[in-house]
Amino acid sequence: MWIALRRGTAAGRSREAKELPSIRVLWAGAALAALLVAGLLIALPRLQPPTGTLLVLAAARSPEYLTPTTVALHGSAGWTAIGSVSGSVPVAPEQRELLALPVAVGTYRGVRLGDDEQPVAISVVAGQVEPLLLGIEARHLISGAAYAGNDQVNLGLGELSGKFWPMPPFALIDQAGSPFDNATIAGKDVVIAAFHTTCHETCPLYTALFAQLEKRRLPANVLLVEVTTDPATDSASALARYAKSIGASWTFATGTADELTAFWKPFGVALATGDSHVSTLALLDRHGYIRLVYRGVPDVGHDISPALVASMGAEGLRELASGGDGWGTTQVLQSLLTISGPEAPPAVGGGVAPGFSLVGTDGRRVSLAGLLGKPLVINFWAAYCAPCRVEMPMLQSRVGAQSTAELALINEGDTAQVARNFLGSLGVHQPALLDSDLSVGRSYGAIGLPITVFVRADGSIDMRQIGQLDERTLEAELSKLSGQ
């Protein structure tokens, strides 16, 4: 019994001796696991994809209300839902925050609200906030009204609050018979020219200008479009033949007489045939707002194809040789930079304001010499210019209401009655000066409208603003002039 017990004890000790290394291994494993867990906890944030914050805002032209609607972004993996939004949407420039959430760092190319999609470049940076403004109308996303980034959001609030003139709804077709409408131009900066294929004077020069622009390797978001004023002649197939004959790859558009009349109405262009029509080029921004309008003959120099020269009549050849009205490819490209965002390019200043003496809509003659002695704001405008209609009341209220600067409104080419009617429709009671032959405008570089020139009290030019003014730029320049 003792022997047996002793044997058993010896065997137990033998087993304990064998088990001791296993315990050490377990302790070592536990320590290693603890280290791995600690390392994983430290490394986990680094293993997760970096994120930034997307702030989704909404504003409208009139009070709106959204029922629960899904918001999605289009990234490298396609469409991804990021949340649902609902509730009231205020009138711009007020806005309401709909969502604020972390989003993977990267570039997104579109936003979807319910079934409505809009192209927009959204750049999400790690640790930063990217605002995204959606314009709402009738519970839908407005065509072109998606704005990403601080500057674009500020621009969007200005556009939605009526500070810019929107392109009305239109429905045309291009030379291939495909739709050309508001959805086609959404997200693009658009250069539009009035023309028709039977015009042998200015129209070939506009087409030559487009050919020059195309050679400049324009950004992908710029769209060149020539829209006819002669629907009876210029069918889609006629436009296709014309484009092929001159080697043009940009868009040509047509429609019915009613459709084209509605399209050209904001620009003051009537339907016409032959060589009698209003020569017009307009720039629309990527959100569908009219930003600048050119009239007259472009300067294309000697860069024009033989096919276009051959299509020109005697008057057209004379216009080609004359050098046009002082604007061409360089000026249009500069204007494209202006409308590509809310920040205008560096303004051109310097020099002495050219003298003038013009008769006003009230019959009185006014000269530059009689206006100097204090800062002067000269605004060049015309009744056909939609952006002029938007900025004119602001100019009168901001400049006309204070005594530190004088406001001069110079009309380019309209009759006295047309100018008076335009001013009266806006509630502007200040007379305008009539530059009937456009000579004063040309001397100031007013090749596209609107243009505003800020003149110091001594008659030197401080700044020229190309295109529509915003309140921020106007207030800054008035403050600058008053301090000089």
Give pLDDT, residue 33.
64
Residue 136 pairs in a beta bridge with 60, 141
Task: Between 39 and 365, name the one with better pLDDT.
Answer: 365
Is 218 inside a domain boundary? Answer: yes
Burial of 412 (0-12, 13-18, 19+ CB in 10 A): buried
- Whether 81 and 129 map to the same domain: the answer is yes
Is 349 inside a domain boundary? Answer: no
Give pLDDT, residue 281.
92
- Whether 158 and 238 map to the same domain: the answer is no
Is 352 inside a domain boundary? Answer: no
Tokens linked to 293? 């309008």
Containing domain of residue 429, as a range? 357-482
Query: Closest Cα to residue 188, out of 155, 164, 223, 217?
Result: 223
pLDDT confidence tier of residue 7, bands split at 50, 70 and 90: very low
Give pLDDT, residue 165.
82
Give pLDDT, residue 346.
39
Q: Would you say 469 and 394 are in contact if contact means Cβ atoms under 8 Å apart?
A: yes
Is 367 inside a domain boundary? Answer: yes
pLDDT confidence tier of residue 219, bands split at 50, 70 and 90: confident
- Over residues 326-350, mean pLDDT: 67
Q: Which helix H or strand E contains 315, and what residues bound it?
A: helix 314-322
Give pLDDT, residue 336.
81
Query: Closest Cα to residue 308, out of 192, 228, 195, 190?
Result: 195
Give pLDDT, residue 343.
40
CA dist 395 and 387 (Å) reads 12
pLDDT confidence tier of residue 98, bands split at 50, 70 and 90: very high
What is the residue-wise DSSP string for 10-27? HHHHHHHHHHHHHHHHHH
Is 350 inside a domain boundary? Answer: no
Tokens linked to 13? 């000790």
Domain finish residue from 339, 370, 386 = 339
Q: Would you say 406 and 371 are in contact if contact means Cβ atoms under 8 Å apart?
A: yes
> Could you tell me which residues come within 8 angstroms of residue 8 by beta carbon, excluding any fewer than 6 positions away?
none
Give pLDDT, residue 466.
80
Give pLDDT, residue 349.
61
Is 344 inside a domain boundary? Answer: no
- Whether 70 and 100 map to the same domain: the answer is yes
- Whether 140 and 195 map to the same domain: the answer is no
- Whether 218 and 312 map to the same domain: the answer is yes
SS percent in the chain: helix, strand, coil, step 5: 35, 35, 35
* Interval 120-163: pLDDT, tens: 989 998 878 888 999 999 999 998 889 888 767 877 887 888 77
- Over residues 409-425, mean pLDDT: 93
- Whether 231 and 105 map to the same domain: the answer is no
Is 378 inside a domain boundary? Answer: yes
- Whether 132 and 229 map to the same domain: the answer is no
The CATH number of residue 153's host domain is 2.60.40
Domain finish residue from 28, 48, 68 = 48
| Number of separate domains in the chain | 4
* Phi-psi sector, 477: left (phi>0), alpha (psi -120 to 50), beta: alpha
> Could you tell me which residues come within 8 angstroms of residue 330 by beta carbon, excluding any fewer than 6 positions away?
none
The CATH number of residue 199's host domain is 3.40.30.10
What is residue 29's three-state secondary structure? helix
Q: What percent of the chain has pLDDT over 90?
A: 52
Mean pLDDT of the chain: 85
- Whether 321 and 310 map to the same domain: the answer is yes
pLDDT at residue 344 greater than cutoff 60: no
Domain finish residue from 103, 127, 162 = 162
pLDDT at residue 300 greater than cutoff 60: yes
- Whether 310 and 382 map to the same domain: the answer is no
Query: Closest Cα to residue 294, out of 194, 172, 169?
Result: 194
Is 189 inside a domain boundary? Answer: yes
pLDDT confidence tier of residue 20, bands split at 50, 70 and 90: very low
- Whether 383 and 400 map to the same domain: the answer is yes
- Whether 31 and 61 map to the same domain: the answer is no
Lowest average pLDDT, out of 78-92, 193-207, 313-327, 370-384, goes to 313-327
Q: Would you say 176 and 404 are in contact if contact means Cβ atoms under 8 Å apart?
A: no
Residue 328 pairs in a beta bridge with 299
Lowest average pLDDT, out of 4-13, 178-187, 330-339, 375-384, goes to 4-13
pLDDT confidence tier of residue 35, bands split at 50, 70 and 90: low
- Return the DSSP state at 423: H
Q: Would you say 371 and 440 are in contact if contact means Cβ atoms under 8 Å apart?
A: no
Whether omega before 345 lies within 30 degrees of 0, making that bond cis, reads no
CA dist 240 and 249 (Å) reads 10
- Whether 416 and 475 map to the same domain: the answer is yes
pLDDT at residue 55 greater than cutoff 80: yes
